[in-house]
Amino acid sequence: MSEDKPKQSESKQNKWKVGPGLGLIIIGLTYLVWWLIFIEYAIRDPRWAHNFAYAIIILNVGLAWYHKTPLSRTIAMIQSFMLPVTGSGSFNTVLCTIICSIILVIWALVVLIERKQEKTFLEEKLSRRGMNWVNMHAIILAWILIAHMGLMFLIVRLPLEAQLYSYSDRAGYLMNLPPESHELATWAFDIGLFILITAFIWEQYKMGYNIKNNPWPKKSFYIAILVMVAALIALALQEVTFGLDWVDKVYG
């Protein structure tokens, strides 16, 4: 009887599988639904389509956390490379969104096949230790690439925005991305992502490979919710500060 109680307790703790995956799924879904509601902005100005690419990547990495297989997480990691590519403004963001969507479909097919066959790809080619290594490091790299959303904005685009706009509203990366230097929600969300990804990596460091599937710490999940709340508050403050049509007021 004494041995059954810990198992029941652990099962109860794992019931909702709270962890990095759930936080990213909530963020990704909320992000995607929000822009689907306001898709007219992306239709009028396709440069805003980058938000769909971002949302799809975040959602897919969150889903991959729950399907812990080498190929699943490797696909999600490869898809995550599209985030800095999209965020650089070097390529058409509608095309980037299409590529991210295709990768999401490929990931979903792989998951369905693995679950139907009850066998993971690469199972016979990798040792148990190798599988654990790929599973952990692929998802960590995916998280780090998600953090590049803020890096690309704060370090690459922000210092150049005013100068580029003085030449043309489509100069440089502005050809594929809109100006966002006074978008408070962008600031709040990108800075929040740095904090969130740092929390993920710290928790992963403490959990290690987590072969026994022990309950994951919930702090990062709460941070994920706070990031979303902070972004929504910042969006509300936008109305009473710079306004939604700040570009013409700031750059003329």
pLDDT (mean) for 244-248: 89
Mean pLDDT score of the chain, rounded to an integer? 89
Angle, alpha carbons 161-162-166 (nearest 5°): 115
Tell me what pLDDT residue 142 has.
97
User: What's the whole-model pTM score?
Assistant: 0.90
Q: Is the pLDDT of residue 246 over 50?
A: yes
Span 37-77, pLDDT tens digits? 999 999 999 999 999 999 999 999 999 999 989 999 999 99
Per-residue pLDDT at 250 exceeds 60: yes
Q: What is d(CA 54, CA 100) in angstroms, rounded to the nearest whole number?
A: 9
Instruction: Classify residue 172: in a domain, yes or no.
Output: yes
Q: How confident is the model at residue 16 (pLDDT cuts 50, 70, 90)?
A: low
The domain of 222 spans 16-251
Domain assignment present for residue 99? The answer is: yes
- Classify residue 6: in a domain, yes or no: no
Burial of 33 (0-12, 13-18, 19+ CB in 10 A): exposed
- Cα 80 from Cα 218, distance rounded (Å): 24
Is residue 87 domain-resident? yes
Place of tokens 């919710």: 225
Helix, strand, or coil here: 94? helix
The pLDDT tens digits for 131-156 are: 889 989 999 999 999 999 999 999 99
Quick check: is 8 in a domain?
Answer: no
Number of domains the chain is built from: 1
In this structure, is residue 109 part of a structural domain? yes
Structural domain contains residue 10: no
